[in-house]
Structure 1
Amino acid sequence: MSDLLGQARTWHRPMTICAGAMAAMAVVSAGGLLLDDRVLLGAPIWLKPFKFAVSIALYCVTWAWLLTLLRSRQRLAYRVSTGIAVILFVEYAIIVTQVVRGRASHFNASTPVDQVLFSVMGGSVAALWAGTLVLTILLLRTPIPDGASRWAIRLGAVISLVGAGLGALMLGPTSEQLESMRNGTPTGFIGAHSVGVADGGPAMPITGWSTTGGDLRIPHFVGMHALQVLPLLALLLGLLATRLPVLRDGTVRMRLMFVAGFAYAGLTGLVTWQALRGQPLLSPDAWTLAALAALVVTVTLATVLIITKREQGSFTPVFREQSSLAHPERTPR
């Protein structure tokens, strides 16, 4: 573990700087939540800068570490990552600027200034996704000795890229917006977070997700954070291997990571389907519950099968090393 943490000296500097700046802005935004009582579209006006600061900080820290794993095309990866850091600074600056102005930053085309700022954000998001695609492809080509760590990182990166792309579902005009355009009375907004209800209604605390309709931010959030969740799970499996003999087999941990990746992708698809049907996260209908139950049963059975087969000696282990995330000093035998 000390070797892994020691790599922080070689982490991508612009990404690291961006993460530090966003951590500072999270503190500033938290202060805004306490001191500024303005409300925008039903939510405290500083809530969005706070959530984006935390999310961007996590994104930058994760990729700053992942870039240390690359063994080729490092110069390309450095340049792309630097561009991504700049894009994130620009996007966040627009969000804060709009907060200071007391204006919505997303989907807002009410005035020429609002329209230009949102257009810049739209372009930056597209460039951000394209840059992340390049980094993901480079990461998929990177050899990682430990099977569980390798697939945790690869699956996490791919699912995260899909989750980021799901944000495009929010950009199309809603039926109400299209109707108002046809009637010559545009609302000034194009796109929305919510499905089946207007943005700004009753919402969950902190997240701001709608409690009366579907919310497309949920699959966007869930999918994107596979980049952190799956590698952390691989790390946890490596740590547990010191206490649970069955997990000392690298093949078992690798197969469990395949199951975890399937479960996470299934969950992302499920909450996407739920949101598109205009259904609140905490008010699932029978079809959603049935799909969730099927996913849980499938994942549970697969996990039990992998563990019992190992305990019965039904397959020959391919990897016997501890997780490289938990014990980077060890190498495959």
Structure 2
Amino acid sequence: MSSATLPLPQDPVRGPVPLLRAVRRRDPVLADFGLALLAIALILAAAWLFDARQLHGEGVWAKPIKFLLSVGLFALTNAWFIGDLPEARRGAAPIRAARWTIIGAGTFELVYITWQAALGQPSHFNEATPFHMVMYALMGIGAITLTATTVPLAREIARHGTGLSPALRLAIVLGLVLTFILGTGAGVAIAAYGGHAVGGVADGPGLPLLGWSTTGGDLRVPHFLGIHAPQLLPLAGAGLAAAWPRRARAVVWLVSALYILVTLAAFAQALLGRPLIGL
């Protein structure tokens, strides 16, 4: 989350505690939601140490932990960006809708994923019963709705984020928009393909923590790049723009174009059945 954008002058962040205080000042509701998800992820990580059950080749708690971390980071990033808006716009209808959509859709998805993990059953691509089919479909709708919240926030930042430098504002807007386009696009491809694995062994060895396949293509790689564009793009764009201030906006456009190409290349590599890193 701290890599989502550069801190504003009124938000000195020189350590984890000041950083937490800063993000809570920007949007207390969304920040508390994100922090709660990270805390739950830590609890499940402790549970993982005492629960040796496996599901599809990894611990049953691996998926909920990864989703808790991802949605938590997503919420904290958006809370930080909301703080870049004037006070009056933070309570505007588009921001209120985005805030509560993130909380509602995120909670629904995470509760179901965690519940299924506790039962030792898959949450995704589980069509064992009509109930599981309906829940899986609702999860897909929820995921698209969740990432779609980046669009109104991008519009608000583009129109009202005047306290930001033009280059940083552009990087944030592009990162948010590409999250919806690339992240949702890769997610839809995973659903259409019937899973993330292309070739190789579906439940075979994966990279530590991330779990990406080391024997075949894995559509989770481009999905990861798309979903985390609002953290990675502003960080890279702002850093390079600071190095070349006279061409800051051009550098941001260039970095964004390269990011799109890298994501598309990862997508193509996955479809060809080739792992990102073969072991």
Q: Please report the TM-score for the alignment, with normalisation by the length of structure 1.
A: 0.71
**2:188 aligned partner, one-letter code:** A
Q: 1:161-240 to 2 correspondence within 5 Å?
A: 161-165=180-184, 166-172=186-192, 174=193, 191-197=194-200, 199-237=202-240
* Paired position in structure 1 for 2:36: 21
Q: Do the aligned partners of 1:147 and 1:250 also contact (CA within 8 Å) in 2? A: no
Structure possessing the higher radius of gyration over alpha carbons? 1
Comparing 266-275 with 69-78, greater Cα deviation is found at 69-78
CA distance in 2, matches of 1:136, 1:148: 14
**1:77 aligned partner, one-letter code:** I
User: CA offsets per residue over residues 179-236 of structure 1, 9 Å max, x none?
Assistant: xxxxxxxxxxxx2111124531222121111111111110000121110012223454
Q: Do the aligned partners of 1:147 and 1:251 also contact (CA within 8 Å) in 2? A: no
CA distance in 1, matches of 2:180, 2:151: 7
Instruction: Report the CA distance between 1:7 and its aligned residue.
Output: 5.3
* Paired position in structure 2 for 1:3: 10
SS at 2:149's partner residue? helix
CA distance in 1, matches of 2:255, 2:240: 11
User: Is residue 56 of structure 2 the alignment partner of residue 56 of structure 1?
Assistant: no
Q: 1:143-158 to 2 correspondence within 5 Å?
A: 143-144=161-162, 145-158=164-177
Q: Do the aligned partners of 2:148 and 2:180 also contact (CA within 8 Å) in 1? A: no
* Paired position in structure 2 for 1:259: 254
Unaligned runs of 5+ in 2: 1-6, 13-20
Instruction: Report the CA distance between 1:237 and its aligned residue.
Output: 4.6
Q: Do the aligned partners of 1:195 and 1:276 also contact (CA within 8 Å) in 2? A: yes
Q: Do the aligned partners of 2:154 and 2:172 also contact (CA within 8 Å) in 1? A: no
Instruction: Report the CA distance between 1:37 and its aligned residue.
Output: 0.5
Instruction: Report the CA distance between 1:280 and its aligned residue.
Output: 0.8
Poorly superposed stretches of 4+, deviation over 6 Å? none
- Percent of aligned pairs sharing the same letter: 33
CA distance in 1, matches of 2:172, 2:247: 17
CA distance change for structure 1 residues 45 and 52 in 2, over 3 Å: closer, same or farther? same
User: CA offsets per residue over residues 29-53 of structure 1, 9 Å max, x none?
Assistant: 2113211111101111111111111
CA distance in 1, matches of 2:217, 2:85: 39
Instruction: Report the CA distance between 1:59 and its aligned residue.
Output: 0.5
User: Is residue 124 of structure 2 the alignment partner of residue 124 of structure 1?
Assistant: no
Q: How many residues align?
A: 258
Q: Do the aligned partners of 2:147 and 2:179 also contact (CA within 8 Å) in 1? A: no
* Paired position in structure 2 for 1:100: 118
Q: 1:316-331 to 2 correspondence within 5 Å?
A: none
Q: Please report the TM-score for the alignment, with normalisation by the length of structure 2.
A: 0.84
User: Is residue 89 of structure 2 the alignment partner of residue 82 of structure 1?
Assistant: no
User: CA offsets per residue over residues 15-67 of structure 1, 9 Å max, x none?
Assistant: 21221111111201211321111110111111111111111111011100111
**2:173 aligned partner, one-letter code:** R
CA distance change for structure 1 residues 8 and 207 in 2, over 3 Å: closer, same or farther? closer
User: CA offsets per residue over residues 129-171 of structure 1, 9 Å max, x none?
Assistant: 3333332333333344513212211221122222321201011
* Paired position in structure 2 for 1:320: none
CA distance in 1, matches of 2:26, 2:119: 36
**2:122 aligned partner, one-letter code:** A
